[in-house]
């Protein structure tokens, strides 16, 4: 349930940022043609709301019972610049550089392993360069500009500056004002949404390169291969559903055995096989 809620919330939030940018940029045009777009926009919002309601409803019921996440619980899962720039020790392409010798311990947590390759990280810069030479499809270029704005804004909002108690993040302002934000603990999962929109920017840039340069297909192919190489890992961590179901069943049995008059119950499951426990 939460695996669906997190990407869905981040995707909707980033899409809202992109839409805000496009509306501000084309405000004069929208004022003249608002009647043309008002009903399609309304139909889109209603359709999306009906589709996501079953997921959100189940999650929000649990959230109401447990209460919102505390800032101390959220802040430790906020990404930093290191989570984007430092490859993990499992990287096939970079593990020979012995990143394990100097990468911080928190980077070994799966929620904060957000490195997607330097080519993907350079997608915004590559887009800005190719945007200057794209004179054919300006509508797509305008849409990609909105995506770039949303991408960079979301990255800045979720970044944690500093360490420990002295850390600061604009995300604290977001969870106080945006509905649903305070229900998200593992903010690092924003990487799924960021990678999706970065891939759109990269795809657009490669298309422009192929169309505007004689040997553009060679550059595009080289960049595409680089993305695959940088994202190859030795192994990936998998959390079987059966393991979670067994823990939930065991916990339910203990709660049932404790009696109906038990008002508070706490049990921490920490099996030896669980990764990242040091």
Choice between 276 and 99, residue whose per-residue pLDDT is larger? 99
What are the domain boundaries of the chain? 2-237, 241-278
Kindly indicate the confidence band of residue 273, based on its pLDDT and cuts at 50, 70 and 90.
very low
> Distance (Å, rounded) from C-alpha 75 to C-alpha 93?
31
How far apart CA 23 and CA 35 sit, in angstroms, is 14
Structure tokens belonging to residue 62: 């649990």
pLDDT band at 14, cuts 50/70/90?
A: confident
Whether the predicted pLDDT of 253 surpasses 80: no
Query: In terms of pTM, does the model score above 0.75?
Result: no
Nearest Cα neighbor of 13 from 236, 197, 227, 185 is 197
Number of H helices, E strands in the chain: 11, 0
Q: What is the pLDDT of residues 27-78, one digit of tens each?
A: 777 777 777 777 877 887 788 778 777 767 776 676 666 666 777 778 878 8
Residue of 234, 212, 58 lying closest to 137 (CA atoms): 212
Tens digit of pLDDT for each residue in 51-60?
A: 777 767 776 6
The C-alpha atoms of residue 163 and residue 167 are separated, in whole angstroms, by 5
Reduce the DSSP state of residue 168 to 3 states and report it.
Answer: strand
Residue given tokens 């990487």 in the structure block: 191
Dist CA 172 CA 157 (whole Å): 9
């Amino acid at each position: 349930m939460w695996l669906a809620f997190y990407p869905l919330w981040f995707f909707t939030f980033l899409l809202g940022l992109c839409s805000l940018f496009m509306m501000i940029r084309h405000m004069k045009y929208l004022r003249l043609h608002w009647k043309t777009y008002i009903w399609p926009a309304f139909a889109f919002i209603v359709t999306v709301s009906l589709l996501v309601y079953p997921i959100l409803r189940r999650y929000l019921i649990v959230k109401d019972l447990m209460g919102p996440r505390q800032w101390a619980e959220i802040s430790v899962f906020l990404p930093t610049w290191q989570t984007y720039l430092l490859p993990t020790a499992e990287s096939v392409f970079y593990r020979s550089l012995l990143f394990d010798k100097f990468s911080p311990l928190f980077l070994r947590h799966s929620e904060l392993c957000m490195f997607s390759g330097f080519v993907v990280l350079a997608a915004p810069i590559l887009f800005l360069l190719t945007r200057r030479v794209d004179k054919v499809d300006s509508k797509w270029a305008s849409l990609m500009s909105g995506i770039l704005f949303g991408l960079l804004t979301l990255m800045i909002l979720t970044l944690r500056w500093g360490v420990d108690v002295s850390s600061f993040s604009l995300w604290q302002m977001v969870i106080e004002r945006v509905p649903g934000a305070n229900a998200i603990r593992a903010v690092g999962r924003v990487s799924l949404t960021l990678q999706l929109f970065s891939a759109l920017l990269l795809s657009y840039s490669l298309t422009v390169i192929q169309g505007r340069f004689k040997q553009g297909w060679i550059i595009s192919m080289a960049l595409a291969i680089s993305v695959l190489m940088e994202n190859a890992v030795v192994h990936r961590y998998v959390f079987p559903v059966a393991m979670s179901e067994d823990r939930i069943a065991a916990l339910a049995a203990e709660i049932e055995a404790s009696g109906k008059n038990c008002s508070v119950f706490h049990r921490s499951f920490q099996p030896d096989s669980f990764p990242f426990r040091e």
